[in-house]
Amino acid sequence: GESVGLHLPTLSVQEGDNSIINCAYSNSASDYFIWYKQESGKGPQFIIDIRSNMDKRQGQRVTVLLNKTVKHLSLQIAATQPGDSAVYFCAENILSSGNTGKLIFGQGTTLQVKP
């Protein structure tokens, strides 16, 4: 079935360390993936996206890796800061399907940054 899930509900890291948040998806037809950050009391905010014809994409302090063989993607945050504390969601879509624009969201990982 279609589902997107994250491996760990909570990740605790020291300020300044790198963070890696993981996500597994089950639909091999998914060809587009997005990472969102949701701070307390706010709506999800777009971080970075990646299409299935890529295996890596970098942004400012963030990198998304996609492994289609094992249907896994990860979000790496370099030099984690207190402001990175939030819940992180991965989401998938099938853009080639004629598209409804619908995203399927995973369960979320809470990132806690220790000072």
Partner 1 sequence: EADIYQTPRYLVIGTGKKITLECSQTMGHDKMYWYQQDPGMELHLIHYSYGVNSTEKGDLSSESTVSRIRTEHFPLTLESARPSHTSQYLCASSEGRGGIQYFGAGTRLSVL
Residue 103 as a binder of partner 1 (CB under 8 A): the answer is yes
Report the nearest approach of partner 1 to the CB of residue 93 (Å).
6
Q: Which of residues 20-39 bind partner 1 (CB under 8 A)?
A: 32, 34, 36
Report the nearest approach of partner 1 to the CB of residue 12 (Å).
15
Residue 56 as a binder of partner 1 (CB under 8 A): the answer is no
Structure tokens at 49: 């996206």
Report the nearest approach of partner 1 to the CB of residue 65 (Å).
19
Other CB atoms within 10 A of residue 22 CB: 17
Q: Which of residues 67-96 bind partner 1 (CB under 8 A)?
A: 87, 89, 93, 95
Q: Is the four-CA dihedral 66, 44, 92, 57 of positive or negative sign? A: negative
Report the nearest approach of partner 1 to the CB of residue 95 (Å).
6
- CB within 8 A of 30, min separation 6: which ones? 2, 52, 92, 93, 94, 104
Going by their DSSP bridges, the two strands 86-93 and 104-105 should be labelled as antiparallel
Q: Which of 19, 21, 25, 44 binds partner 1 (CB under 8 A)?
A: 44
Q: Is the four-CA dihedral 27, 7, 10, 57 of positive or negative sign? A: negative
Binding site for partner 1 (CB under 8 A): 32, 34, 36, 41-46, 49, 87, 89, 93, 95, 99-103, 105-108, 110
